């Protein structure tokens, strides 16, 4: 059973709205969850709404600031319409102090100069030698740099506002019964892929460091990009280009399944389904779309095929 809560600034009480319709999305490479919809609310909140929460039973799925929240009375009903991003969206809106951070853990790095409210970090005991935070780099960029150096991964949002670097292996695999499946799809998305990178060296000269993504070239995707020398990768300049190429190829392929219901899925959880020749056996969930309305509950699970999620 889903429930919505609206917190009002300066007040301890929480308004609970009866859901009319909602849409919730969580994605592998996006540093926040999104929630939008409408709910029945008899009277207007007496104050500024400061947070929107979505629960599945006792499990918090979304907790974030309202991008917009508006209460309207019409035809005898009070309706609040809203859109919200999780509090972890602040990772893309804040910057750590630029410079070198040495012998740091993930949590220590992320809390080094800014402590974000309602955002948590995976607790990793191991340190890495250094992370170089560049000018104008966001906290999410810092998390991505740490993850790449730590285990050649890309960070993601787990639960509502927890940033993880490693896969949560405690999550059980989920089975989607064929009888619950509404639709299955297979697709590609090649708009981000870069075929060639050219990076300056420390003297500012091009053609010292070059990288070709042969898989892109094989697809007749030709896109050249020139970048400045990346001090994040002083000891391994080629990794500066390879990390960019891997991210650019995100979600290059995907399969997805839409089914009736919801099973509390999380990003990178393994899923099994099969219909119409499209099969996932232990594939990682890369995106979750949930819709709830008067017609029922539909969940769409996407499994990407890229450098971080591996081939489909």
Look at residue 64 in the predicted model and tell me its pLDDT. Answer: 98
Longest CA span, the chain? 70
Lowest mean pLDDT among 153-157, 203-207, 307-311: 307-311
Look at residue 12 in the predicted model and tell me its pLDDT. Answer: 65
Q: Are residues 18 and 67 in the same domain?
A: yes
Q: Evaluate whether 199 touches 229 at the Cβ level (below 8 Å).
A: yes
Residues present in the chain in total: 312
Look at residue 14 in the predicted model and tell me its pLDDT. Answer: 75
Q: Are residues 129 and 244 in the same domain?
A: no
169: in domain: no
Average pLDDT value for residue range 20-33: 98
Looking at residue 308, the DSSP 8-state letter turns out to be T
99: in domain: yes
pLDDT of 172 higher than 80: yes
Indicate which CATH number applies to the domain containing 139: 3.55.50
pLDDT digits (tens, 9 = 90+) for 69-103: 999 999 999 999 999 999 999 999 999 999 999 99
pLDDT of 13 higher than 70: no
Q: Ramachandran region of residue 144, left (φ > 0), alpha (ψ -120 to 50) or beta? A: alpha
Look at residue 310 in the predicted model and tell me its pLDDT. Answer: 83
Q: Are residues 11 and 47 in the same domain?
A: yes
Look at residue 26 in the predicted model and tell me its pLDDT. Answer: 98
pLDDT of 289 higher than 70: yes
Q: What is the percent of the chain with per-residue pLDDT over 90, rounded to a whole number?
A: 93
122: in domain: yes
Into how many domains does the chain fold?
Answer: 4
Q: Are residues 50 and 151 in the same domain?
A: no
* Whole-model pTM over 0.85: yes
In sequence order, what are the residues at sequence separation of 6 or more whose Cβ sits closer than 8 angstroms to the Cβ of residue 167?
153, 268, 284
Mean pLDDT of the chain: 96
Higher pLDDT, 15 or 1: 1
Q: What are the Cα distances from residue 139, in Å, to 83, 124, 126, 187? A: 23, 17, 20, 31
Q: Evaluate whether 280 touches 257 at the Cβ level (below 8 Å).
A: yes
pLDDT of 25 higher than 80: yes
pLDDT class of 167 with cuts at 50, 70, 90: very high
In sequence order, what are the residues at sequence separation of 6 or more whose Cβ sits closer than 8 angstroms to the Cβ of residue 282?
173, 270, 271, 272
Q: Are residues 49 and 130 in the same domain?
A: no
pLDDT class of 136 with cuts at 50, 70, 90: very high
Q: Are residues 106 and 145 in the same domain?
A: yes
Q: Ramachandran region of residue 151, left (φ > 0), alpha (ψ -120 to 50) or beta? A: alpha
Which residue segment(s) compose the domain that 201 sits in? 196-248
Q: Is the dihedral of CA 177, 181, 185, 189 positive or negative?
A: negative
pLDDT of 11 higher than 90: no
Q: Are residues 106 and 155 in the same domain?
A: yes
């Amino acid at each position: 059973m889903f429930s919505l809560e609206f917190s009002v600034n300066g007040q301890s009480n929480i308004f609970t709205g009866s859901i009319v319709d909602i849409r919730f999305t969580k994605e592998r490479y996006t540093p926040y969850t999104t929630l939008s919809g409408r709910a029945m609310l008899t009277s207007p909140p007496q104050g500024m709404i400061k947070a929107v929460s979505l629960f599945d039973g006792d499990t918090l799925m979304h907790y974030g600031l309202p991008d917009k929240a508006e209460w309207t009375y019409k035809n005898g009903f009070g309706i609040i319409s809203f859109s919200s991003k999780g509090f972890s969206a602040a990772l893309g809106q804040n910057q750590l102090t630029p410079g070198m951070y040495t012998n740091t853990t993930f949590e220590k790095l992320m809390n080094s100069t800014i402590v974000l409210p309602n955002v948590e970090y995976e607790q990793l005991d191991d340190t890495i030698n250094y992370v170089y935070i560049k000018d104008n780099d966001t906290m999410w960029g810092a998390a991505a740099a740490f993850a790449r150096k730590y285990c050649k991964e890309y960070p993601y949002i787990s639960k509502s506002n927890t940033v993880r670097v490693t896969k949560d292996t405690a999550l059980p695999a989920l089975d989607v019964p064929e009888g619950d499946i509404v639709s299955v799809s297979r697709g590609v998305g090649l708009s981000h892929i870069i075929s060639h990178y050219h990076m300056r060296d420390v003297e500012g000269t091009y053609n010292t460091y070059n990288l070709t993504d042969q898989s892109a070239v094989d697809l007749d995707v030709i896109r050249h990009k020139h970048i400045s020398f990346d001090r994040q990768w002083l000891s391994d300049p080629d990794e500066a280009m390879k990390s960019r190429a891997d991210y650019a190829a995100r979600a290059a392929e995907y399969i997805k399944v839409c089914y009736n219901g919801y099973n509390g899925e999380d990003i990178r959880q393994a899923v099994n389904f099969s219909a119409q020749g499209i099969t996932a056996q232990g594939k990682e969930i890369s995106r979750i779309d949930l819709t709830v309305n008067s017609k029922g509950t539909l969940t769409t699970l996407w499994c990407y095929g890229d450098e971080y999620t591996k081939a489909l």
